[in-house]
Structure formats: C-alpha cells, structure tokens
Amino acid sequence: MANFSAPMTGGQTFELLGRPARYTVLYFYPKDNTPGCTTEAMSFRDNYDAFRALGVEIYGISRDSLRSHEGFKSKLGLPFALISDPDETVCNLFGVMKMKNMYGKQVRGIERSTFVFDASGRLVKEWRGVKVNDHVSEVLEFLQGQP
C-alpha cells in the first residue's frame, strides 16, 4: 500500500507509513452520528484498552468534515482519532465507495470496511461489507492471533 496522508481530529495529520504501532486498524464508516456508525465507534472505544495492550492504533475514517468528527468524537468519548476524507481520495484508494440502496434509492456511499496494517505499512487483513455486530471482536481476535 502506498503511503497517504489525510487530516484528522486534534489538528493532526495521519500518515500510514512511519506509525509507531505494531499494527494500525483503519476502519471506514459511512457517516458520523448514524446508528450503525455510532455502535461501531462505541465498540472500538469499549475495546480500546485491549487493542492498545497489543500495540494497536485505531483510526476511523469517513467523508465527514473535521468539525463533524470533533463533535462525534467528543459526544462518544472516543479515545482514537477520526480521519476526514471529504473529497474521497482515501476512500477511492481503498475502493470503498459503492452504490447502495437507501430507502429504495440508489446512493453512492462508503461500504463499511476495516483494514489492518503491520508496522511496515503492509496490509495484513481486510474486511469488506462489514456488519457491525461482532465485527470489532473479530478484528481483536485476529490481532490477538498475530505474532
């Protein structure tokens, strides 16, 4: 995977390469403050200590603005940063933009997906078309099985 950078909460810039973590989890979600996305974010939040014990950093990413992300992060007490990708540059790099049915209409949006990278920036696991229930525990179980 090529390196990329994108703005994230806290006035920081995310870069894939050069992260100090053993593993980096990058999860794409459709929209701040929606039921599924809130559930997913809270699940990553509630399991954050278990991920950190394994040397894992977590980042959520959507097309929402930094302002929206800051509010969502604050409202839920998220201990990890959220990446803003309003122009879909990173979404397109990962191929997560899909046509979806929303209330009987075709809309273009983010397909909920999660990617795990090792310390060298190599993709080691991906989940696409994620269902929120039990997904975070699947990611954690995968990482617990890594050397």
What gap in Å lies between CA 128 and CA 33, rounded to an integer? 21
Count of alpha carbons within 13 angstroms of residue 121, beta-carbon side = 11
Instruction: Determine the angle formed by the axes of helices 135-144 and 35-46, rounding to 10 degrees.
Output: 30
Q: State the Cα–Cα distance between residues 92 and 108, nearest whole angstrom.
A: 12
For the chain, the residue count is 147
37 classed as catalytic: yes
* Residue 82, beta-bridge partner list: 60
| Region class of 14: left (phi > 0), else alpha (psi between -120 and 50), else beta | beta
Number of H helices, E strands in the chain: 5, 9
Catalytic residue among 37, 58, 82, 116: 37
Active site positions, annotated = 37
